[in-house]
């Protein structure tokens, strides 16, 4: 496919000369004679490379403003700035703002062709680098043999054959984004953009701008997630966090497949596949009037449910083997000798689910890959025991503040004594000595709290 170059210069002779040189080199060339034409050409379609004169027809708007606009749309699009009367300061400023190169007039045919070819090669390398990094960070597979994971894999295979909207539900860290990426990768849109917008991370007044984009008085445009995902897939992560009033506008896009940018007047048509995810139960939010029922039914055409890691512990050995090999390769270190029979791995609650397990394996891979299996087991036990204590303390504190004083005290005593008994392997005498109680008094306290013997 021919590379497309956009030439922007208000001098017709210079513009004609550059266009002729590039067309002789088999480039597809577009041109703009002034600032406003340039804005229209850039917004209609971003070129593979732009050549922009710094001084244009408007005294208060110049090529630097166009450079900023192109960088805002796609920072990897190379821009060559040209000028016949620029200072060193202007040239340095252009490079600082993201210009690929700066050329002074007059210039030779060889120089302009050389810079254009180098700029396109640089853009290609950056694109390939992004692809490699994207694979590096998002190439994890959906690992597991539990019934719930087998079911999810079958659904993903079926979804690759259609364009249905998908709602992925599951606890934090269970792999919702991974499932969305697999659906996109297996679909007919695989070569098109995959765009993620995390509704939980947006500021309260920025949802519509992030989704629909924004038009400014000076002609600049900020493209929203819907336009960036055109022809591809848009994942709205934590869709439950979208404000109620914005939900109506999202519904309208799903119905009409078009929208207006914020402060815009023109309809923008898009063709996207929408995938949503949520760690909350959307149906319950509908019943609580916190989520629109009509939008819920539009999103929930094909539901995919992920379960917690603690409910599918049979997958833990497979996940550990997979992550330790993958992460060792990524970090360039030895594969750690992790004992997949370590009891701590199966008794721990994994509140962060698969993400927490992956983080644990990565920590072991980086810091302890050369250690013995016994030492690695000790490290894992220490990490998980510390995490369990912190989680239990948070739960105790929360429940305590939500209860009357007597119930809070009883709840704390029960959690405290249960933890101490586990720590001393159910030995009443050692537990009593450690907490400073008589053995008989501890027996009575355990009985009153309904704590049975712990093995």
Backbone angles phi, psi at 23, to 5 degrees: -65, -35
CB 376 within 8 A of CB 337: yes
> Positive or negative CA dihedral for 359, 361, 365, 369?
positive
Q: What local confidence, expressed as pLDDT, does residue 373 receive?
A: 85
CB 148 within 8 A of CB 307: yes
**Which two structure tokens, joined as six digits, stand for 44?**
């209609």
Q: What local confidence, expressed as pLDDT, does residue 320 receive?
A: 95
Count the residues in the chain: 455
Can you name the residues that pair with 100 across neighbouring β-strands?
Answer: none
**Which two structure tokens, joined as six digits, stand for 158?**
């079926």
The residues of the chain that CATH labels 3.40.50.300 are 146-307
The C-alpha atoms of residue 250 and residue 352 are separated, in whole angstroms, by 30
Q: What local confidence, expressed as pLDDT, does residue 16 receive?
A: 94
The residues of the chain that CATH labels 3.40.50.2300 are 4-134
Q: What local confidence, expressed as pLDDT, does residue 248 receive?
A: 93
DSSP strand E in 176-319: where?
194-198, 214-215, 221-222, 233-237, 258-260, 267-269, 273-278, 302-305
SS3 label, residue 338:
coil
Q: Among 3.30.1300.10, 3.30.70.580, 3.40.50.300, 3.40.50.2300, what is the CATH number of 4-134? A: 3.40.50.2300
Selection from 428, 434, 430, 433 nearest residue 446 by Cα: 428
Q: What local confidence, expressed as pLDDT, does residue 139 receive?
A: 56
Query: What is the signed CA dihedral for 244, 249, 251, 252, rounded to 10 degrees?
Result: 160
Query: How many Cα atoms occupy the beta-carbon half-sphere of 316 within 13 Å?
Result: 24
* Digitized pLDDT (tens) for each residue of the chain, 455 residues in all: 789 999 999 999 999 999 999 999 999 999 999 999 999 999 888 999 999 999 888 888 889 999 999 988 888 899 999 988 766 777 788 888 889 998 888 888 999 999 999 999 988 887 776 655 555 444 578 999 999 999 999 999 998 788 999 999 999 999 999 999 999 989 999 888 999 999 988 887 889 999 999 988 877 788 899 999 999 999 999 999 999 989 999 999 999 989 999 998 889 999 999 999 999 999 999 999 999 999 999 999 999 999 999 999 999 999 999 999 988 887 788 999 999 998 889 888 898 999 999 999 988 888 887 888 888 888 888 888 766 555 554 454 455 445 565 565 676 677 778 777 877 778 888 888 877 788 888 888 888 888 876 65
The C-alpha atoms of residue 339 and residue 396 are separated, in whole angstroms, by 31
Q: Among 3.40.50.1820, 3.20.20.60, 3.40.50.300, 3.40.50.620, what is the CATH number of 146-307? A: 3.40.50.300
The C-alpha atoms of residue 392 and residue 3 are separated, in whole angstroms, by 60
Write 322-325 long-range contacts (CB < 8 A, 24+).
322/141, 322/143, 323/357, 323/358, 323/361, 323/362, 324/361, 324/364, 324/365
Selection from 127, 103, 129 nearest residue 114 by Cα: 103
Selection from 27, 49, 31 nearest residue 40 by Cα: 31
Side by side, the strands of the sheet bearing 302-305 are 194-198, 233-237, 273-278, 166-169, 302-305
SS3 label, residue 81:
strand
Q: What local confidence, expressed as pLDDT, does residue 161 receive?
A: 80
The C-alpha atoms of residue 244 and residue 314 are separated, in whole angstroms, by 40
Selection from 272, 239, 241 nearest residue 258 by Cα: 272
Selection from 250, 245, 204 nearest residue 225 by Cα: 250
Can you name the residues that pair with 194 across neighbouring β-strands?
Answer: 233
């Amino acid at each position: 496919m021919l590379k497309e170059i956009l030439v922007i210069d208000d001098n017709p002779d210079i513009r004609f000369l550059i266009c002729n040189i590039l067309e002789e080199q088999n480039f597809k060339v577009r041109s703009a004679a002034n600032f406003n034409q340039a804005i229209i050409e850039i917004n209609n379609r971003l070129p593979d490379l732009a050549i922009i004169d710094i001084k244009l027809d408007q005294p208060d708007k110049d090529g630097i403003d166009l450079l900023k606009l192109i960088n805002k749309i796609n920072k990897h699009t190379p821009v060559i700035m040209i000028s016949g009367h620029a200072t060193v300061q202007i040239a340095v400023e252009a490079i600082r703002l993201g210009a690929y190169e700066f050329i002074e007039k007059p210039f030779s045919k060889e120089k302009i062709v050389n810079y254009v070819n180098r700029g396109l090669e640089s853009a290609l390398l950056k694109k390939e680098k992004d692809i490699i990094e994207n694979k590096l960070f998002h190439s994890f597979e959906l690992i597991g043999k539990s019934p719930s994971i087998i079911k999810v894999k079958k659904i993903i295979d079926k979804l690759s054959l259609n364009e249905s909207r998908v709602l992925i539900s599951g606890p934090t860290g269970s792999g919702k984004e991974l499932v969305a990426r697999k659906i996109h990768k297996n679909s007919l849109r695989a070569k098109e953009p995959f765009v993620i917008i995390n509704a939980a991370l947006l500021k309260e007044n920025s949802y519509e701008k992030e989704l629909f984009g924004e038009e400014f008085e000076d002609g600049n445009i900020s493209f929203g997630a819907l336009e960036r995902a055109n022809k591809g897939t848009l994942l709205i992560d934590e869709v439950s966090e979208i404000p109620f009033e914005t939900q109506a506008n999202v519904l309208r896009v799903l119905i009409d497949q078009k929208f207006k940018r914020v402060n815009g007047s023109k309809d923008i048509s898009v063709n996207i596949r929408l995938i949503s995810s949520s760690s909350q139960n959307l149906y319950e939010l509908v019943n609580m009037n916190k989520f629109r029922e009509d939008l819920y039914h539009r999103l929930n055409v094909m539901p995919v449910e992920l379960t917690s890691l603690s409910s599918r512990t049979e997958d833990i050995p497979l996940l550990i083997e997979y992550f330790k090999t993958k992460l060792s390769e990524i970090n360039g270190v030895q594969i750690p000798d992790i004992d997949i029979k370590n009891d701590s791995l199966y008794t721990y609650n994994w509140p962060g689910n698969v993400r927490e397990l992956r983080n644990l394996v990565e920590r072991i891979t980086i810091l302890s890959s050369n250690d013995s299996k016994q030492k690695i087991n000790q490290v894992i036990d220490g990490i998980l025991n510390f995490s369990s204590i912190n989680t239990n303390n948070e739960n105790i504190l929360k429940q305590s503040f939500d209860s009357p004083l007597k119930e809070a005290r009883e709840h704390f005593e029960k959690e405290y004594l249960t933890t101490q008994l586990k720590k001393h392997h159910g030995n009443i005498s050692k537990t009593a000595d450690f907490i400073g109680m008589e053995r008989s008094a501890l027996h009575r306290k355990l009985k009153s709290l309904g704590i049975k013997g712990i093995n």
